[in-house]
Amino acid sequence: MEKKDTYRSQFRLPQELYVLLKESAEKNRRNLNAELIFRLNVALSDERLDRYLAQQKVTREEFEANAKAVERAFPAQLDSEPLPDNYIKDDLDEAISRLNSVQRRALLKFICSMISD
């Protein structure tokens, strides 16, 4: 039985593209369908973000400025030094607390959508 939120179709692909997708799927331990969905999601992520931000009435510039604030909460030493478990959470909480409520909702919803994909 097929999910109601799944569109079923058949597409024609150039043989060379099919081979590249199949090799990539094997390398990433996904079936061909999962690889195709993954690649399409990556390719369309900017459009998805723009649509969501427009719904939230947040500009791309505002979002990017807030994303940079979140990035600043993570120092470069994260890659090299072990840190206490709560270190990242505390810095992220502080960075998010600086955002207004609409920006915070947009950022958190976007992060959740990226994790669930």
Convert the pLDDT of each residue in 32-67 to its tens digit. 999 998 888 888 888 888 888 888 788 888 888 777
- For the cut 80, the answer to whether the pLDDT of residue 2 exceeds it is no
Domain ranges (residues) in the chain:
58-116
CA distances from 99 to 53, 69, 105 (A): 15, 9, 9
- Count H helices, E strands: the chain? 6, 0
pTM (predicted TM-score): 0.50
Name the least confident of 4-8, 20-24, 25-29, 108-112. Answer: 108-112
Q: What whole-number distance in Å separates Cα of residue 28 and Cα of residue 35?
A: 8
Please write the tens of the pLDDT for every residue from 63-114. Answer: 887 777 666 665 554 455 554 555 555 556 666 666 666 666 777 777 766 6
Q: What is the pLDDT of residue 25?
A: 93
